[in-house]
């Protein structure tokens, strides 16, 4: 089992969710996050005061999937979240040791 | 806490002490009968106002004792009540939201609270001694104590209750003096509240209140008296009475300074007190390094819009009657403000790259400020020009000028109100000229618009008014800040400032997420 974490542009969330549903991903967790990468920040101007906003708003999605699905998940996110411009985000893949469905007590791949 | 409350009480007591001593007997005599047991008389009076003649106030005609004194007109009364309500609305919530949106979310309540409580505090002081010192006849720099606790406005003679009237700018037209009192009360209250924007996000709440009492007493009241007090036009019959009646007016009124609705009294006065405060109290922690971006420009837009609507009460209401001058002030206030929104926005678009909502809202306030002294004197084209200039000049005020001054005037009280007020006061001299579509000055002897109007002479007079206000307000503000700083301290601690004044000073948060 793998945990796929992706940082994407907020307005790409719906497309990514649709793409993941399309390949059979059962559920994802979404958080609103802030951060910076190569895109850096932007400047905001309030009357005479100029502020550099270092941290840009992003969306973090997390999906726990079976190992055989992981390549297609990566591909789906890459395709759906791509704008070709700097700041599209990153995908991180981790090994996933254990999963438990709290309601039934099922564990492992059955709980996904 | 006890120490600050004690010092607050002390400041109020100092201002009142002498007054109480001098007028104790008179005050007791007049307050008792008018406060208790007289309501049936008031009701009878209210339903049949024409039956009982209005009392001869200090402002009523003195030269014609035989003629019946003028009675208020219900249309004028209705308008002045609405105008007063509008000014209350532009203060709370208008100004409070305009300022509140501009601070960081951790200081939202502190700004709302400062505006709300200063408004209440000044209203109370106005009724106690403020109105009397500003609007009764005594000397050229400050009024007398005849209206302490508003005594003498209502009185009972031979069982009949009588309400005093206040003069307007038209002979034979009066409004109930109580209405003049409340209308002017709202002006005093919003002026003091305007100042808090300059030292927002770091001032101690108790310090703000003590400063408000001191500055109101020693700066607002004298300036209001100097600029606005006069006995009214009814006593002016010829050159001799013109001279004698004018001599009773405030120092700047006697010189002929034009300030229709408060360019000097309200905006320059508050703007100067603000910038002095920003210097004395020092910069916010992290100023120039940390982001201090406005937390909610939606509130700022709502606040600016409430200010704009409320300002019609401020400006058109300053005509004191529902007539032509009120209509002129109304259209000028509308046109100048719209022009200033556009000029600020386009200037910002050209120089900074983007037209911002904050820019448009700031432009509106700049236009409103600049047209305030001029609105009853200039023509519509003059208002248009004044508004266009105000947007650009005040944009300069919050950029280049702000950098030169180097103070952390947090919400640009000086950049907008000080600069806009000075611009408006000076340009009033220009656009009030009948040659440029203005009203000129009214000759109460000939009862027509004066034939000779000199822009240059008037510019000199306006400059005198502007300089007097800058120096007077600046010196009083500086001393008042220092007194507060040395007694209870102006600033919160650095730790409290970082935590935010909402929690540190008021024990609550504006937002629960």
- Cβ atoms B255, B464 nearer than 8 A: yes
Nearest alpha carbon to residue B118 among B99, B136, B104, B101: B99
Question: What three-state secondary structure class fits B167?
Answer: strand
Task: Name the strand (E) or helix (H) holding B359.
Answer: helix B357-371
Q: How many CA atoms lie within 13 A of B419 on its CB side?
A: 26
Q: Flag if B402 and A44 touch (Cβ within 8 Å).
A: no
Measured CA distances, B66 to B61, B62, B236, B277 (Å)? 10, 10, 16, 53
Q: Flag if B293 and A51 touch (Cβ within 8 Å).
A: yes
Q: Which pairing describes strands A2-8 and A56-65: parallel, antiparallel, or unpaired?
A: antiparallel
- Of residues A25 and A54, more confidence is placed in A25
Q: Flag if B412 and A47 touch (Cβ within 8 Å).
A: yes
Separation of alpha carbons A112 and B99, rounded Å: 51
Q: How many CA atoms lie within 13 A of B363 on its CB side?
A: 28
pTM as predicted: 0.84
Q: Is B456 exposed, middle or buried (0-12, 13-18, 19+ CB in 10 A)?
A: exposed
A53 shares contact with chain B (CB less than 8 Å): yes
Mutate to test the interface with B, among A47, A50, A52, A53 (most CBs of B within 10 A): A47
C-alpha dihedral, B468 to B465 to B375 to B418, nearest 10°:
-30
Chain A residue nearest residue B395, CA to CA:
A47
B415 shares contact with chain A (CB less than 8 Å): yes
Question: What three-state secondary structure class fits B260?
Answer: coil
Q: Give the rounded distance of the alpha carbon of B283 from its chain centre.
A: 27
| Interface predicted TM-score of the whole assembly (ipTM), two decimals | 0.72
How many CB atoms sit inside 10 A of residue B425's CB? 27
Nearest to A49 among B292, B359, B362 (CB): B292
In chain B, what are the helix, strand and coil shares in percent, each to the nearest 5? 65, 5, 30
Separation of alpha carbons B276 and B284, rounded Å: 15
Note the pLDDT of residue B22: 41
Note the pLDDT of residue A40: 75
A45 shares contact with chain B (CB less than 8 Å): yes
In the structure encoding, which two tokens stand for residue B478, read together? 């500086």
Q: Flag if A47 and B352 touch (Cβ within 8 Å).
A: no
Residues of chain B in contact with residue A46, where contact means CB-CB under 8 angstroms, are 293-294, 356, 358
Residues of chain B in contact with residue A32, where contact means CB-CB under 8 angstroms, are none
Separation of alpha carbons B511 and B372, rounded Å: 35
Note the pLDDT of residue B61: 46
Nearest to A51 among B291, B398, B402 (CB): B291
Count chain A–chain B contacts defined by CB atoms under 8 A. 29
Separation of alpha carbons B196 and B166, rounded Å: 32
Residues of chain A in contact with residue B291, where contact means CB-CB under 8 angstroms, are 51-53
In degrees and rounded to multiples of 5, residue B235 shows phi and psi of: -80, -5
Nearest to B398 among A44, A48, A52 (CB): A48
Catalogue the long-range contacts made by B157-161 (C-beta closer than 8 Å, 24 or more residues apart): B159/B41, B160/B41, B160/B45, B160/B52, B161/B38, B161/B41, B161/B42, B161/B44, B161/B45, B161/B52
Longest dimension (CA), chain B: 72
Secondary structure letter of residue B65 according to DSSP: S
Measured CA distances, B299 to B20, B33, B294 (Å)? 43, 47, 10
Chain A residue nearest residue B289, CA to CA:
A51
* Helix extents (H) in B154-290: 177-195, 205-215, 221-228, 239-246, 251-255, 269-281
Residues 321-360 (B) with a CB less than 8 A from some CB of A: 352, 354, 356, 358-359
Nearest to A48 among B293, B294, B403 (CB): B403
Say which residues have a Cβ less than 8 Å from residue A60's Cβ, sequence separation at least 6: A5, A6, A7, A8, A30, A31, A32, A33
Separation of alpha carbons B127 and B148, rounded Å: 8
A50 shares contact with chain B (CB less than 8 Å): no
Q: Flag if B398 and A47 touch (Cβ within 8 Å).
A: yes
How confident is the model over B441-483, as pLDDT tens digits?
Answer: 999 999 999 888 999 999 999 999 999 999 999 999 999 999 9
How many CB atoms sit inside 10 A of residue A26's CB? 12
CA-based R_g, chain A, Å: 17
Secondary structure letter of residue B284 according to DSSP: P
Say which residues have a Cβ less than 8 Å from residue B437's Cβ, sequence separation at least 6: B378, B379, B380, B381, B382, B431
Note the pLDDT of residue B305: 98
B294 shares contact with chain A (CB less than 8 Å): yes
Mutate to test the interface with A, among B103, B287, B293 (most CBs of A within 10 A): B293
pLDDT by 10s per residue, chain B, length 513: 445 455 545 444 444 444 444 444 343 333 333 333 333 333 333 333 333 333 334 444 444 455 688 999 999 999 999 999 999 999 999 999 999 999 999 999 999 999 999 999 999 999 999 999 999 999 999 999 999 999 999 999 889 999 999 999 999 999 999 999 999 999 999 999 999 999 999 999 999 999 999 999 999 999 999 999 999 999 999 999 999 999 999 999 999 999 999 999 999 999 999 999 999 999 999 998 888 999 999 999 999 999 999 999 999 999 999 999 999 999 999 999 999 999 999 999 999 999 999 999 999 999 999 999 999 999 999 999 999 999 999 999 999 999 999 999 999 999 999 999 999 999 999 999 999 999 999 999 999 998 889 999 999 999 999 999 999 999 999 999 999 999 999 999 999 999 999 999 999 999 986
How confident is the model over B126-146, as pLDDT tens digits?
Answer: 999 999 999 999 999 999 999
Separation of alpha carbons B304 and B365, rounded Å: 7
Nearest to A46 among B358, B403, B415 (CB): B358
Note the pLDDT of residue B256: 95
Secondary structure letter of residue A10 according to DSSP: G
Q: Tokens 């556009």: give the residue.
A: B342
Note the pLDDT of residue A66: 94
Q: Tokens 């002390």: give the residue.
A: B10
Note the pLDDT of residue B469: 97
Mutate to test the interface with A, among B102, B287, B291, B301 (most CBs of A within 10 A): B291
Separation of alpha carbons A56 and B503, rounded Å: 28
How confident is the model over B186-210, as pLDDT tens digits?
Answer: 999 999 999 999 999 999 999 999 9
Separation of alpha carbons B170 and B319, rounded Å: 9
B161 shares contact with chain A (CB less than 8 Å): no
Residues of chain B in contact with residue A44, where contact means CB-CB under 8 angstroms, are 293
Nearest alpha carbon to residue B372 among B268, B301, B449: B268
Q: Tokens 């120096």: give the residue.
A: B471
Say which residues have a Cβ less than 8 Å from residue B500's Cβ, sequence separation at least 6: B104, B105, B106, B107, B110
Separation of alpha carbons B297 and B117, rounded Å: 23
- Cβ atoms B250, B140 nearer than 8 A: yes
Residues of chain B in contact with residue A51, where contact means CB-CB under 8 angstroms, are 291-293
In the structure encoding, which two tokens stand for residue B378, read together? 């200039």
Residues of chain B in contact with residue A53, where contact means CB-CB under 8 angstroms, are 291
Separation of alpha carbons B454 and A84, rounded Å: 67
Measured CA distances, B62 to B66, B160, B168, B233, B246 (Å)? 10, 22, 15, 11, 14
């Amino acid at each position: 089992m793998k945990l796929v974490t992706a940082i994407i542009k907020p307005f790409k969330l719906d497309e990514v969710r649709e793409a993941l549903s399309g390949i059979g991903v059962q559920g994802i967790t979404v958080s609103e996050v802030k951060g910076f990468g190569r895109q850096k920040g932007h400047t905001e101007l309030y009357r005479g005061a100029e502020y550099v906003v270092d941290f840009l708003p992003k969306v973090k999605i997390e999906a726990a999937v079976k190992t055989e699905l992981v390549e297609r998940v990566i591909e789906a996110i890459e395709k759906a979240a791509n704008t070709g411009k700097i700041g599209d985000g990153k995908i991180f893949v981790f090994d996933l040791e254990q999963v438990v469905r709290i309601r039934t007590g099922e564990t492992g791949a059955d709980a996904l | 806490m006890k120490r600050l409350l004690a010092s607050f009480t002390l400041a109020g007591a100092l201002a009142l002490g002498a007054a109480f001593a001098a007028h104790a007997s008179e005050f007791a005599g007049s307050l008792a009968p008018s406060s208790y047991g007289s309501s049936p008389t008031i009701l009878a009076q209210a339903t049949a106002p024409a039956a009982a003649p209005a009392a001869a106030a200090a402002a009523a005609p003195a030269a014609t004792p035989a003629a019946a004194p003028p009675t208020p007109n219900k249309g004028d009364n209705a308008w002045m009540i609405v105008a007063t309500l509008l000014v209350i609305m532009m203060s709370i919530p208008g100004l409070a939201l305009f300022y509140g949106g501009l601070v960081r979310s951790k200081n939202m309540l502190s700004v709302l609270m400062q505006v709300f409580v200063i408004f209440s505090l000044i209203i109370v002081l106005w009724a106690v001694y403020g109105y009397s010192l500003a609007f009764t006849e005594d000397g050229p720099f400050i009024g007398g104590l005849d209206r302490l606790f508003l005594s003498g406005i209502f009185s009972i003679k031979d069982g009949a209750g009588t309400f005093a009237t206040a003069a307007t700018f038209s002979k034979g037209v009066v409004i109930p003096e109580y209405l003049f009192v409340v209308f002017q009360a709202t002006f005093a209250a919003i002026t003091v509240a305007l100042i808090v924007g300059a030292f927002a996000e770091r001032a101690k709440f108790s310090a703000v209140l003590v400063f408000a009492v001191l500055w109101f007493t020693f700066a607002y009241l004298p300036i209001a008296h100097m600029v606005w007090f006069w006995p009214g036009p009814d006593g002016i019959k010829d050159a001799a009475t013109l001279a004698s009646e004018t001599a009773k007016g405030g120092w700047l009124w006697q010189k002929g300074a034009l300030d229709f609705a408060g360019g000097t009294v309200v905006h320059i006065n508050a703007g100067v007190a603000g910038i002095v405060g920003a210097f004395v109290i020092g910069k916010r922690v992290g100023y120039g390094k940390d982001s201090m971006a406005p937390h909610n420009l939606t509130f700022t837009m709502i606040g600016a819009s409430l200010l704009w609507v409320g300002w019609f009460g401020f400006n058109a209401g300053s005509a004191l009657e529902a007539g032509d001058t009120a209509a002129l002030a109304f259209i000028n206030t509308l046109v100048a403000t719209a022009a200033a929104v556009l000029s600020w926005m386009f200037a910002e678009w050209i120089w900074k790259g983007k037209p911002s909502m904050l820019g448009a809202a700031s432009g509106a306030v700049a236009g409103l400020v600049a047209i305030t002294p001029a609105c009853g004197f200039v023509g519509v084209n003059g208002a248009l020009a004044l508004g266009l200039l105000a947007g650009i000049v005040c944009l300069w005020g919050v950029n280049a000028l702000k950098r030169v001054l180097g103070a952390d005037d947090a919400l640009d009280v000086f950049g907008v109100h000080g600069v806009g007020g000075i611009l408006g006061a000076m340009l009033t001299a220009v656009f009030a000229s009948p040659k440029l579509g203005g009203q000129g000055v009214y000759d109460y002897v000939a009862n027509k618009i004066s034939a000779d109007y000199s822009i240059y002479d008037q510019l000199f007079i306006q400059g005198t008014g502007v300089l007097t206000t800058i120096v007077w307000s600046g010196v009083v503000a500086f001393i008042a800040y220092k007194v507060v700083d040395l007694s209870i301290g102006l600033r919160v601690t650095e730790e409290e400032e970082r935590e935010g004044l909402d929690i540190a000073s008021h024990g609550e948060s504006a937002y629960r997420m």
